[in-house]
Structure formats: structure tokens, C-alpha cells
Structure 1
Amino acid sequence: MSSELDRLRFAVGDPDGARSSTWRVWTVKKSADVYVAVRTIAGIEKVSLHESGNYAYGVTEQVRAHFVEDGESRLHDTWTRPDSDHGWHRGFAIRFPIEDLRPLPDEERNGVAFVAPGEVGAVQISIFIGTSAASKFEVTPVENELGRLRIGGAGGQVVAAVQRNPDFTSDVLTGKRDWAIGKIRAERPDIKLSPTMRMGMLGSDQATGERFLYDLSCDI
């Protein structure tokens, strides 16, 4: 029997054209934990937003032995739950630069909520978490709600919301992207980078401590 309570799949772009990876957010029946991951690697790497307030992004325990060296942590980053406003806080966000969208013919499209990308800048899908006593969801600026999920355990709900940053430019990522691609080429020379290959780049808001991940193409 599945431990899942609710789930939502989403992507930015055109299912028949340039698009992002397919992302998945899900909740479980026996706790108020919330999880976020790229759909195709959810069993390998995910974001865990635990009811305890301990948040993490890293390799899953199930595949640790295959991807993590002995003595090293399986977690790329850990942080604590940000402060809430009227019972709501942003648990995580995924940023999709428009210029990084690519045709991905093998990606999932059935059952996926697609967000129109716009012409410039970046789309952000924010995962807001509300307690059972939270007030009405009125976070701004939010273009629209992509979906809602129930939370198990103590209850509450998750809102996946669309936010936009038309002023975003990829200049802020140039050095980091080059470093990441260089690292991939050095450590995995057998992997051929292609227009359909994606990578994530973690970032943080220094003022709030909130984390976000850029969904990027490897062929820039």
C-alpha cells in the first residue's frame, strides 16, 4: 500500500516544445512531511521538508551506498523551517529561467500541470506550507495557484504557486554553471552533455534562509 497522501506534477513550458524537467511534490499519510523532486530521479535525490522543521536536500537513504562515498554525508544542504506568516511559510522553490527551456521529447506529459513560460526572465514555482490553523492563503505576489495538497499527520495543506521574475537574467549563474559543467566533465567523462540533459543548482535567500533550486540545461 502506498504511503502517499497527495501529489502534484508540474513543469514550465510547452509539452510539445521547449520545456523544463517534470517536477513532483507529494505528501504522506502518517506525518506532515512534504517532499519535492524531479520526477525521474525522485528515488535518488529529493528535498525533504520535515514536520520537525528540519529541512534537507540530498541523496535518498535507499541509494546512499551507490552514490555516496563512505564517511561522506548524503545531504547536499540542511536548513531549518523559515518563519511563518499567519501560519504559512515558503518551504522551497524551483526557478526556471526561460532561456534554459529545451525540447524534451522523452519527458512525462500526461498528468502534468504545465505553466506558460512567458517571453523573458524566469518562472518560480513556490511550495508554500500551511498549518491546520493557517489563515486563508493570501501570499503576494502570486500569479495563480498551480495546485493544493493535503498534509497528513497534524494536518494542514500545501499550495504550489506560480510567481514570476521578468527581470531575471542568467548572468548571475554564468560562473557557477561553468564550474558545475566542468565538474561533471571531470568526474564523469563518459557522460556526453546534450540539449536534453538537465542539472539543478541550489541557491539561498540570505535574508530569510529559504532555499531554491534552478532547473537548468547543460548545453548553454
Structure 2
Amino acid sequence: MDSPRETVCRFVVVAPDGRRSSEWRVWTGQEGKKPTDDVYLAPRTQIVDFKISLHKDGWGQYGLSQAVRDAARPGDRRALLRWELSETEIFRGWTPAYCLQFPESELAAVPLSDETQVEIPASGVGAAIAVMIMTSKAGTQLPDGLGDGIIGTLDRKNGGRVAILAMPVRFDAALLSALDSPSDGLSPWAIPGTQGEHEPYGWIVHRGTDGTRRSTEFNTELRATEQRPFSLPDFPGVIRPWNERPTAIDDRGLECAVLVCSSSEQPQLFVDTRARCDHQHLGRDATDLVIAHQRGKLDHGWGRLGNSGHYTCISMPRVLEESGGMDPSQWAPGPGRDSG
């Protein structure tokens, strides 16, 4: 009879005063089931919404759960980001697949769940705990000297292993400075219909010097709690919430924004922040369209809005093509650009 295979590891970083990180899960398959060659990571409270996938084909991705994909807009249902996994060995036969970083300053006073998990002692003040997810092929042994740094190992279908290594590292707090003073005109993509439990954690995704992707966890309660108004600094008009757009406009769920222009009032741009679009690009396109309206250069992409002027919907060609919800003859490229 085959011995049980190790397919799941749960861990959390805990400070002496009880503050902790989010509780993470790393797995290669369901508990008690045969392992796969793919590796998955996610915070415990967010598994129902998204996970980080490290695939055997050499690619990683931040992917949405089926429930979130079903609730997302057409064209926003793909993985949030895909990248090629690093092939640089950190130890002989061992390749770093992903790194999670937990600064001591960002741990939060949140009670632990009842799950059985490895508790990793937090680093000292001004430092962080780095948790490296490493993979190997069959027959590869871990090097000597790692000691208690290895908090878990998992099986893979190909006979290789996953090793989870925790170690204290220096941390540059400047990495988090952008969170305290975010740039105007940028807005996060809001995942609709999320089901995860609320905990005060967020993650900055970046690339290490060896090319390995990493997530640095931060404490949202330490950031400004006031909601900054969405803005596009270069747009010559008023930015308004999506739910205030004119009900007469059939947006079909495909648009990033709706622009309304008239000769008597300031241009109004109703922005759908659920749309995963480039808002800097959106600001330029909306400005070009305002100028086109002022010059009377209205193509078939514009519609009449009663006696209130004209409107046009702004989207991306990829969204329109993938959704099948609008024929190319029904939309027009933005002025001077090759995007809708």
C-alpha cells in the first residue's frame, strides 16, 4: 500500500506580541489525493477568489477562481498576469519558483484561525521573513545546512519535490512608500463578487534580481483609510461614478467608460473601475474625443443623448473581439489612435 503523499503546507508568520501575517497555503494537490506537478499558493481567506499557479510547462500566473471569472466583465476573465518561471538554480538542483515576503512592520493584530499550520517566528524590527517556494526534479536532495529554515516539503507527480524555505532578510521600507502616497489617475481593478473573508492584508507584486516573482505583504490598516477620489489629471472635464451614467445608454457591459459631451456643460466621463484597463491611456483617449467633439468631428462611434448632447463609449478592441457582443462596424477607433 502506498504511503500518504504530502501535498499541502500551511504557514503563518507570527510576532512575539501576537501580530501575524495572513495565513498561507501551498499545495500540489488535494489532501489525501495524488499530487500534480503544478504548484499553487494563496492566502487562506482568498483561495475562493484567486491563487498563484506555478505550472509544469514553465509558466506562472495570477488566476481568478471560477466564481470570480463568472462574475467578471467579458474580456476580464483571463489570468491577471502570466510570466515565465526562472530557471536559475538557487541551490544545486533547486529552482526558485516564487517568493513571499512578510515585513515585521506590516504584521497585523488579527486572531489566528483554528487551522493546523506552521508558525514562523517574525523577523526583527526593520527586517522581513522571506518564504521561498523551490522546486526540484526527481532524486534531488536538499543541501545540508538549511536546518529549521525548511518548514515543509511537498510531493510532485514527476517524483520531484517542492521545498518551502523561510529565512529572515533585510527589508527596504521604501518599497511600501507608494502605498502611502499613490499616484493620481491610477485605480486598482476591483474584482467583482469576491467571497473571501476580510482581513487587513494586501500584496505588492514585483520581480526579484534573479527574475523570480514575489509578493510583499502589507497591512492595509496602516495606510490611509479615506477613499481617494478617482481622477485623470489631464482630462478636461468631470469624472463621475459609473453608477451615475445616463440610463439611456446601452453599454452592454463592455466599456471602460462613457463620455458625454455637450456645448453647454463640461464633458463628463463615467468610469467603470471594474474594467481592467490602462487608465493613463483612457485619459488620453477621452481627451482626444473631447477635442474631436469640440471640432465637430463626430464619427459613427458617437450617439445622440436626447437634448443633452452626444455620447460615446470607450472600450478596448480585445474586449470587443473576445466578447462577440459588438460587431466591428459598430465601433470606431479613437481619434488619431488605433484603439477603441
Shorter-chain-normalised TM-score: which range? 0.7 to 0.9
Asked whether the equivalents of residues 108 and 200 of structure 2 are also in contact (C-alpha less than 8 Å), the reply is no
Give ranges in structure 2 of 5+ residues lacking alignment.
192-197, 223-340
The alignment-based identity, stated in percent, is 25
Matched residue count: 203
2:12·2:20 contact (CA, 8 Å) conserved in 1?
yes
* Aligned residue in 1 for 2:164: 160
Candidates 113, 123, 126, aligned match of 1:118? 123
Query: Given residue 21 of structure 1, which amino acid in structure 2 is its aligned partner?
Result: S
The range that moved more, 77-86 or 38-47, is 77-86
Aligned counterpart, 2:136 = 130
- Asked if the contact 1:11–1:112 (Cα under 8 Å) also holds between the matched residues in 2, the reply is yes
Amino acid at match of 1:102: A
Q: Does residue 78 of structure 2 align to residue 78 of structure 1?
A: no
How many angstroms does 1:83 deviate by?
A: 1.1
Q: Which has the higher contact order (CA 8 A, sep 6+)?
A: 1
How far 1:58 sits from its partner (Å)? 2.6
**C-alpha separation between the residues in 2 aligned to 1:187 and 1:162?**
31
- Amino acid of the structure 1 residue aligned with 2:129: V
**Contact 1:196-1:217 at 8 Å conserved across structures:** no
Which residue in 1 is equivalent to 2:95? 89
TM, length-normalised to structure 2:
0.54
Letter in 1 for 2:94: W
Q: 2:201 aligns with which of 193, 198, 203?
A: 198
Matched, 1:103 2:109: yes
Alignment partner of 1:147 out of 144, 148, 152: 152
| RMSD of aligned residue pairs (Cα, Å) | 2.9
- Deviation per CA, 1:47-102, whole angstroms, max 9, x where unpaired? 10111111111312443122x32112532221112114333111111100100001
> 1:123-172: CA deviations, max 9, x gaps?
111111111142x22298886111111112x121111111221x313222
Who wins on radius of gyration, i.e. which is larger? 2
CA contact (8 A) 2:28 2:154 kept: yes
How far apart, CA to CA, are the structure 2 residues paired with 1:142 and 1:204?
A: 27
1:41 to 2:49 alignment = no
CA distance in 2, matches of 1:204, 1:140: 27
Report SS of the residue matched to 1:19: coil
Secondary structure of residue in 2 paired with 1:36? strand
**CA contact 1:60–1:74 (8 Å) conserved in 2:** no
- Partners of 1:140 and 1:128 lie apart in 2 by 16
Residue 293 of structure 2 corresponds to: none
State how far apart, in whole Å, the 2-side matches of 1:200 and 1:219 are.
13
1:64 match: secondary structure = helix
Structure 1 residues without counterparts, runs of 5 or longer: 189-194
Q: Is the Cα contact below 8 Å between 1:143 and 1:163 reproduced in 2?
A: no
Q: Tell me, yes or no, if the aligned pair for 1:19 and 1:103 is still in contact at 8 Å.
A: yes
Q: How far apart are the structure 2 equivalents of 1:51 and 1:161?
A: 20
